[in-house]
């Protein structure tokens, strides 16, 4: 698995590319195991400048490992917006040869799911800006929206969530808001106090539940991009 670690660093593209590399050098068994039990997700953000003389960083990778094919995935909780084309022509007939016709003989009419499109493996979520409502003193604080997506997709009410690197407590605050049980640890006392305050702040938990900030942020981004 040492090699696996190196591959993770080398392959910044997609896991599919990594498969090809692994296939060339390693036992097929590993490739199959990784394909079934791991999904490579990308957290993509556009709001960080590039201060160096190199490719600027605008993503972080998240590896989603599963113990078996039977895992929690609440798709309806994390559906995304359809693209503009789909919204413009919502209902359409699929040709028999289309892979979306599911092999049906008759013409198949596709209509969008009212809850949105199926989620993709790249999430665009801005990093936390200085003036943001959720900003704390922690330097590597993760956005509520990122943890919301992960927690809602992969757990149910009363599920138990473990995050051993508490930091500002984003995982715990989102878990509290959505009535998940959680276990956490944090090395620094300063951050432990921060976490305590955060999870006992009812306004903050209600704000997380309302999703209002995320909706406003999405609207602002769409307006700026003219989409």
Nearer to ligand SAM, 40 or 191 (CB): 191
Q: Minimum distance from CB of 107 to ligand SAM (Å)?
A: 49
Which tokens sit at 108?
A: 């198949």
**Nearest-angstrom CA–CA distance, 169 and 196:** 8
CA 161 → CA 78, 98, 180, distances in Å?
Answer: 18, 41, 7
Burial of 136 (0-12, 13-18, 19+ CB in 10 A): middle
Q: Is there binding between residue 168 and ligand SAM (CB under 6 A)?
A: yes
- With CB under 6 A as the rule, give the number of residues binding ligand SAM: 14
32 belongs to the binding site for ligand SAM (CB under 6 A): no
Task: Determine whether 3 is exposed, middle or buried from the number of CB atoms within 10 Å of its CB (0-12, 13-18, 19+).
Answer: exposed
Residue from 15, 43, 142, 148 in contact with ligand SAM (CB under 6 A): 142
Q: In Å, how far from its chain's centre is CA 171? A: 13
Question: Binding residue for ligand SAM (CB under 6 A) from 167, 175, 177, 180?
Answer: 167
Q: How many whole angstroms separate alpha carbon 226 and alpha carbon 223?
A: 5
Distances in whole angstroms, Cα of residue 47 to Cα of each of 44, 188, 219: 10, 28, 16
Q: For ligand SAM, give the closer residue by CB, 117 or 209.
A: 209
Rounded to whole angstroms, the Cα distance separating 162 from 179 reads 14
Using the rule CB under 6 A, give the single segment among 29-37, 42-50, 56-64, 139-147 that binds ligand SAM.
Answer: 139-147
Q: Is 18 in the site for ligand SAM (CB under 6 A)?
A: no
- Among residue numbers 71 through 130, which ones bind ligand SAM (CB under 6 A)? none
With CB atoms as reference, the residue minimizing the distance to ligand SAM is 167
Q: Is 176 in the site for ligand SAM (CB under 6 A)?
A: no
By beta-carbon proximity to ligand SAM, the closer residue of 11 and 141 is: 141
Which stretches of the chain bind ligand SAM, using CB under 6 A? 138, 140-142, 164-165, 167-168, 170, 185-188, 191
């Amino acid at each position: 698995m040492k090699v696996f670690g190196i591959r993770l660093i080398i392959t910044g593209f997609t896991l599919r590319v990594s498969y090809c590399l692994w296939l060339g050098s390693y036992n097929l068994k590993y490739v199959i195991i990784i394909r079934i039990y791991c999904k490579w997700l990308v957290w993509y953000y556009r709001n960080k400048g590039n201060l160096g003389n190199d490719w600027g960083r605008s993503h972080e990778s998240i590896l989603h490992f599963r113990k078996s094919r039977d895992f929690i995935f609440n798709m309806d909780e994390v559906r995304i917006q359809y693209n503009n084309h789909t919204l413009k022509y919502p209902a359409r007939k699929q040709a028999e040869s289309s892979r979306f016709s599911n092999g049906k003989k008759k013409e198949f009419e596709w209509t969008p799911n009212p809850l949105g499109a199926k989620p993709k493996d790249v999430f665009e979520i801005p990093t936390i800006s200085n003036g943001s409502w959720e900003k704390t003193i922690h330097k590597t604080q993760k956005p509520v929206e990122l943890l919301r997506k992960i927690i809602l997709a992969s757990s149910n009410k009363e599920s138990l969530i473990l995050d051993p690197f508490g930091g500002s407590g984003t995982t715990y605050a989102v878990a509290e808001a959505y009535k998940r049980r959680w276990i956490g640890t944090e090395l620094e006392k300063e951050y432990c106090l921060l976490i305590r305050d955060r999870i006992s702040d009812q306004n903050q938990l209600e704000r997380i539940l309302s999703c209002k900030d995320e909706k406003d942020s999405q609207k602002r981004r769409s307006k700026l991009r003219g989409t």
